């Protein structure tokens, strides 16, 4: 017959061989029903991954205007927060083929629930119009550029347990006119996959 104990705090003995220890005997386990049931600062509460086709899938191609950040819906990754005000480590690895502009930049944006997407890293102030992002692709007008920028962001998001957290890459043209990014019109570029990984860390 199972028993249930309800307590506010458990204390270890202060003397003896097990002083300051709470010992679980060999062969016994403390089993949590959820990854957030046992929490200590610095613990990984969850890891979520997402991958997408950067070449053929619908929405893989974007027309991005000069100096204007455009969200990349194909890259969206979302998770339900297991902790409050957690630290979120966000890593994107996304091949980007660029045509038309002299440079294209990438950054990471995020939002909580139905809020607005905002940049999680401040765009660098250097360069004309400050268009440089976390990953910048360099080339010449009317040429194809191919790069795999690795984007990483570490942010504490003001959230509650159960909130839905969203992350997306954003891209920005750095040359005259618009910049076409990815898609099947990029002749000669092979099939690639974009990858996103998010870790929620307890605080």
Question: Which residues face 156 on adjacent strands?
Answer: 87
Residue 149: pLDDT above 80?
Answer: no
Which pLDDT belongs to residue 2? Answer: 74
Domain assignment present for 144: yes
Alpha-carbon span 83 to 200, nearest angstrom = 8
Domain assignment present for 150: yes
- Which domain does 79 fall in, by range? 44-201
Domain assignment present for 2: no
Q: ∠171-177-181 over CA atoms, to 5°? A: 35
Instruction: Give residue-wise pLDDT tens across range 115-131.
Output: 999 888 655 444 444 44
More confident: 55 or 89: 89
Domain assignment present for 26: no
Candidates 81, 181, 183, 170; CA nearest to 121 is 170
In the numeric block, the tokens 């991954």 are attached to 49
Instruction: Give residue-wise pLDDT tens across range 64-88.
Output: 776 778 898 889 999 999 999 999 9
Evaluate whether 99 touches 144 at the Cβ level (below 8 Å): yes
Q: Please tell me the total count of domains within the chain.
A: 1
Evaluate whether 158 touches 142 at the Cβ level (below 8 Å): no
- Report the range out of 121-125, 155-159, 182-186 with the highest average pLDDT: 155-159
Could you give the C-alpha distances from 80 to 45, 83, 85, 161, 166, in angstroms and in order? 11, 9, 12, 8, 9
Which pLDDT belongs to residue 35? Answer: 67
Alpha-carbon span 182 to 190, nearest angstrom = 11
| DSSP-assigned letter for residue 35 | T
Alpha-carbon span 126 to 103, nearest angstrom = 14
Domain assignment present for 33: no
Strand, helix or coil at 71?
Answer: strand
Which CATH number characterizes residue 106's domain? 2.60.120.760
Domain assignment present for 138: yes
Average pLDDT over residues 7-28: 88
Q: Band the pLDDT of 171: cuts 50, 70, 90.
A: confident
């Amino acid at each position: 017959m199972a028993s249930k104990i309800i307590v506010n705090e458990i204390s270890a003995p202060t003397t003896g061989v097990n002083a300051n220890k709470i010992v679980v005997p060999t062969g016994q386990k403390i089993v949590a029903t959820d990854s957030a049931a046992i929490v200590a600062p610095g613990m990984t509460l969850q890891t979520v991954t997402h991958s997408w086709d950067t070449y053929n899938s619908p929405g893989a191609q974007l027309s991005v205007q000069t100096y204007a950040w455009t969200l990349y819906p194909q890259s969206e990754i979302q998770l339900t927060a297991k902790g409050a005000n957690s630290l979120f480590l966000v890593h994107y690895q996304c091949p980007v083929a660029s045509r038309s502009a002299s440079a294209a930049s990438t950054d990471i944006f995020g939002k909580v629930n139905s809020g607005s997407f905002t940049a999680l890293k401040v765009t660098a102030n250097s360069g004309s119009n400050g268009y440089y992002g976390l990953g910048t692709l360099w080339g010449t007008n009317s040429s194809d550029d191919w790069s795999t920028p690795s984007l990483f962001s570490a942010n504490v998001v003001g959230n509650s347990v159960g909130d839905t957290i969203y992350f997306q890459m954003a891209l920005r043209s750095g040359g005259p006119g618009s910049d076409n990014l990815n898609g099947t019109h990029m002749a000669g570029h092979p099939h690639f996959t974009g990858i996103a990984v998010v870790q929620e860390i307890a605080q």
